[in-house]
């Protein structure tokens, strides 16, 4: 069990956030820690994770970093073993890590880049669910949040590779949600963060003024609120800019 001496609505809860070194993942990790959860942060870049962890600790939060490549064979299994040896239950799993391939026609998709996106955006998500399902079942009210994109349901020209991985992720999460609904307290939400000021967004829309889209902190605030709600499993929502 996480540190129960922490204050906040999520005190005593354990959260795992992938892609936590920057953008929405980092903002969510900080927001969960601010709400009292002990947060495990994973991403490939140790230096960036350390910077996020330092911010969490300076704000009085509690966290642990686990630098890793989700696509590395057995990396997720090793992470689950390490976490399981220290804690009994996982209360919150936020799958934020994603790879955006170079935009272009379906006929010109680079197979190596596509395979990387499939590995990170889809295969790693399945591996996370498989590895952490036992710990999620031990939670009194586990919440699994998978971040998607509008192109999953509304494909656009030149977004084929990314859209395909996100559409497959949504199907995977929906199936898992139905499978555990009647036999556990796990609740799954599929969340489209909408237009958000991230490095990935800047790559996809290089001419866009960052000031015209919401900051990652807005998404993080909604996710922290969502994990405290009693939503039906398979819940879907899009986070638009605050009015």
Active site residues: 162
Between CA 93 and CA 15 the distance in angstroms is: 6
Measured CA distances, 27 to 4, 214, 232 (Å): 22, 13, 25
DSSP per-residue string spanning 127-168: HHHHHHHHHHHTSSS-EEEEE--HHHHS--TT-HHHHHHHHH
Measured CA distances, 61 to 10, 116, 158, 205 (Å): 11, 33, 41, 34
| CA-derived radius of gyration, the chain | 17
Exposure b/e, 137-176, CB count within 10 A at least 16 = b: ebbeebbbbbbbbbbbeebeeebbbbbbbbbbbbebbbeb
Sign of torsion over alpha carbons 240, 187, 28, 30: positive
Between CA 24 and CA 220 the distance in angstroms is: 7
């Amino acid at each position: 069990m996480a540190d129960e001496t922490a204050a906040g609505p999520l005190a005593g809860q354990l959260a795992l956030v992938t892609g936590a070194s920057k953008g929405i993942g980092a903002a969510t990790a900080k927001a969960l820690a601010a709400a009292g959860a002990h947060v495990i942060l994973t991403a490939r870049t140790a230096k960036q994770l350390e910077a996020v962890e330092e911010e969490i600790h300076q704000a009085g939060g509690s966290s642990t970093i686990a630098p890793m490549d989700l696509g590395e064979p057995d990396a997720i299994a090793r992470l689950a073993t390490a976490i399981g040896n220290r804690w009994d239950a996982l209360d919150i799993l936020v799958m934020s890590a994603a790879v955006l391939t170079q935009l272009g026609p379906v006929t010109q998709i680079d197979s190596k880049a596509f395979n990387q996106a499939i590995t990170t955006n889809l295969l790693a998500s399945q591996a996370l669910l498989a590895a952490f399902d036992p710990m999620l079942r031990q939670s009194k009210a586990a919440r699994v949040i998978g971040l998607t994109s509008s192109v999953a349901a509304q494909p656009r020209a030149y977004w084929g590779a990314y859209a395909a991985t996100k559409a497959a992720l949504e199907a995977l999460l929906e199936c898992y949600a139905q499978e555990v609904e009647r036999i556990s307290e796990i609740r799954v939400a599929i969340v489209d963060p909408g237009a958000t000021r991230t490095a990935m967004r800047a790559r996809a829309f290089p001419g866009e003024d960052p000031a015209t889209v919401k900051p990652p902190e807005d998404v993080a605030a909604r996710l922290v609120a969502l994990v405290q709600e009693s939503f039906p499993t398979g819940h879907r929502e899009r986070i638009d800019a605050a009015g």
